[in-house]
Structures are given as C-alpha cells and as structure tokens.
Structure 1
Amino acid sequence: MPPKPSTRARAGGGTKKAAAAADTKSTRTRGRILDAAAKVLSKKGYAGMRLGDVAAEAEIQAPAIYYYFDSREDLIEEVMWVGLAQMRAHLTQALDAATELDPMARIMVAVEAHLRHELELSDYATASIRNAGQIPDSIRERADREAIEYGEVWRGLIKAAIDEGQVNPELEPYVAQMLAMGALNWAAEWWSPRRGSLDSVVVMAQTFVRNGLNRQD
C-alpha cells in the first residue's frame, strides 16, 4: 500500500487549489468589469463614462476597479482594443467559412459580419466604433494598430474583387474601402430595433456596397 501524503504535501495541494480558485474568480471579476465598461462606453461615450456606472453595472464597489485597472483610461484602452480585436476575429472566422465564394460575395459576407457584430453581438465593437474619434492619443495607440489590421482584411477583399474584374475601374480602392467602412460604422450611431430589423439593414447595406463597387458595363 503506498504511503499517505504528508501533512505538508496535503496542505500544499490545498494551497494550490485555493490559489487557482482565487485566480479564476479574479479573472471572472475582471471580465465582468470589462463587459460592464463596454456596455457603459457604448451608450454614454468617452466623456460620459463614469466608473461609478461601470461598478453598478458590474455589481461591485467602484474602488475595486482599481485592483484590476490602474485608471479609467486604462480600462477604456482595454475595451477599445478588445472591441477591434474581437471584430477582426469575427470577420476572419466568417470569411474562413466562405472561401468557396467569389470575391464580391465574400465582401457581402464581410458586410453582414461587420454589421451584426457591431450592432447585435458585441458592446465592445459598438464602444470601439462610436468612440474612435473621442479617445485621446495617449490611449489610442493599441486600438489604432488593431484598426489597421482590420482595415488590411478589407483591403485584401477589395483587391481580390478588383483582380477578378468585379469593381468599377474608375474607383480608387482606398477611397472606396473607406467610404464603405464609414457607412457601416455609422450604423452604430443611428440604428436601433425601432428603426427596423437588423436583417433588413444588412440586406440594404449589402445592396448599397455592391452597387457602389460593381463594374458598370
């Protein structure tokens, strides 16, 4: 029969389990704070976001936020970055499932993925888009890098459609991309379920982008 573990060994094992449980709880609390901040930021904007509102949404005491984030700006920076990183991951996943489609059809997939993630699936994405022009330079560097990566995905989609002869040759690719993305991003400012179903917005946006890009023969 194997020897029983020593008291020290048993105590050590218990300490590791307690530490793991504490770490899991800490991770959940941090995530709850971020979720709450994304929701508040998406609705009230950079200037209107108060840590008291975030704490109330997260159901914690406001001072507890400083255990996880050094400042209000640190919290906002994280929300902005997460919003764009998640949006790029969502778009990439949607495109990976549509590799058999032609380039213009893949752009339509991107239009739907962008709008649904922005308006329906993620407070982070809404917060990032609505506050992109409001946050100070001191906390925008990481989000800006992610925005560039996201734009590169769209650049590749439009280039593929150009190479396939599906885009009006009179269009300048960068301007066309920025106009299309600008229209999609602006939906975060005006759309609500009271203004019609998201499904209809997606269909109209796809028609708008397709007709704007299509070769006119």
Structure 2
Amino acid sequence: MVTEANETTTSKSMRTRQRILDAAAAVLSRKGYAGTRLSDVADVAGVQAPAIYYYFGSRDDLVEEVMWAGAHHVRVHVEETLAALPADADPLDRILAGVEAHLRYELEISDYATASIRNAGQVPEHLRVRPAAEEGAYSKLWRDLFREAQERGRIRPDVDINVVRLLLLGAMNWAVEWWNPRTRSLEDLVRSTQDLVRHGAGAA
C-alpha cells in the first residue's frame, strides 16, 4: 500500500536525483569528463559526495545519464518545435526553425546538451552506446527534413544533402566551443546559421 509518507519520500528522492544530474551536467559542461569529480558535483548539488552512490552506481553511470539526457532532450526540443509549426509549413522554413531550436537549446537552455556535445569525444566508448542511439535518431530527423525540402524543390537538386546535413550539425555543435554572448548575440548567430542554409543550399 502506497502511503502519503511513501509518496513524499519518493518525490524527495526523485528531486535529489534530478539535482545531482543537473549539477553533473553543469560540471561536465565546464570541466569535461577528465576534470569532473564527484566532489565537485556534490558541492553544486548540495549533497554529500557518498550520497551520489545511492542514486548512481558509479561516476561513469552518472556521466552516461547526463550524456544520454543531453542527446535526448535536444532531439525532443527540436521535434516539439517542428510539431508546433503549421502543417503546411514550407520545408525550408522547417529546417530554419530546427536550426534556431537546436542553437537556443544548446547555448541558452540546457547544460545537458552542452555537456553531451563537449564530452562526446572524451568519454570511454562504453559510455557512448546509449547516447549514440539518441544521436542516430536525431540525425535521421535532420535527414528527413533535408530530403523533404529537396524533393519539394526548396533545396537545390545538385546539393548533396547528406554532406550539408553533417556539416550543419557539426557547425552548430561546435558553437559551444567558441560562441561568446559578449561579442555576438545568439540572435545574430541563429540568423547567420540560417542564412548559411538558405543561401548555401536553398533553391533560388
């Protein structure tokens, strides 16, 4: 029988677990895999370091969860953005909306996305399996966007959409390493990236 006290305890436990995950994402996004210590995560989360092992079996288990969440959440965010567009939205406009959603989520909304992107090449291979599945689904989303736009004449027929897609995703992800809001606004970055797609691959 589930009592009110049990529900309260479970709710508190879930909040603590989420707080630890949020802290790990923040630390990973700044210090990287090699520089992340559980003591740092505990300090940010406001818990004792040994308490982390109640929720995660190891440091790598915690890191894997952050990496997966980063890949999963950015995919869901872009999917929700696209779903909110009119059903008859121009296919090129759908790509441009996806560009803005990706950049804003990565650079303004979520430490998870930043942590996932920055540490993709740092974590051991066994920690990449679950996040890689999410990344594969996300890549397919963009492949479908570009294919539809080209089939409907909104992307030039001579454009290799697989190359453009990979270059675009790589460029957007790399922005976490160089973008500085003090020297360039996010709005300018979004607009420039959209122009790159519109004028670099879009049909006249």
TM superposition score category, shorter chain reference: over 0.9
| Alignment match of 1:89 (pick from 63, 76, 84) | 76
DSSP 3-state at the match of 2:117: helix
Residue 69 (str. 1) matches residue 56 (str. 2): yes
How many residues are aligned here?
203
Within a 5 Å distance, the mapping from 1:1-217 to structure 2 comes to: 16-98=3-85, 99-215=87-203
* Offset of residue 192 of structure 1: 2.2
DSSP 3-state at the match of 2:3: helix
**Structure 1: 5+ residue stretches without partners:** 1-11
* Offset of residue 195 of structure 1: 2.2
Identity %: 52
Please give the TM-score of this superposition, normalised by the length of structure 1: 0.90
The structure number with the bigger radius of gyration is 1
Mapped partners of 2:62, 2:81: distance in 1: 29
Please give the TM-score of this superposition, normalised by the length of structure 2: 0.96
**Structure 2: 5+ residue stretches without partners:** none
* Offset of residue 142 of structure 1: 0.4
* Offset of residue 169 of structure 1: 2.2
* Offset of residue 196 of structure 1: 1.6
* Offset of residue 46 of structure 1: 1.0
Q: Choose 96-105 or 182-191, whichever is displaced more.
A: 96-105
When the two chains are superposed, the root-mean-square deviation of aligned CA atoms in Å is 1.2
Mapped partners of 1:72, 1:168: distance in 2: 47
Mapped partners of 1:26, 1:16: distance in 2: 15
* Offset of residue 133 of structure 1: 1.4
**Which aligned runs of 4 or more in structure 1 are off by greater than 4 angstroms?**
none
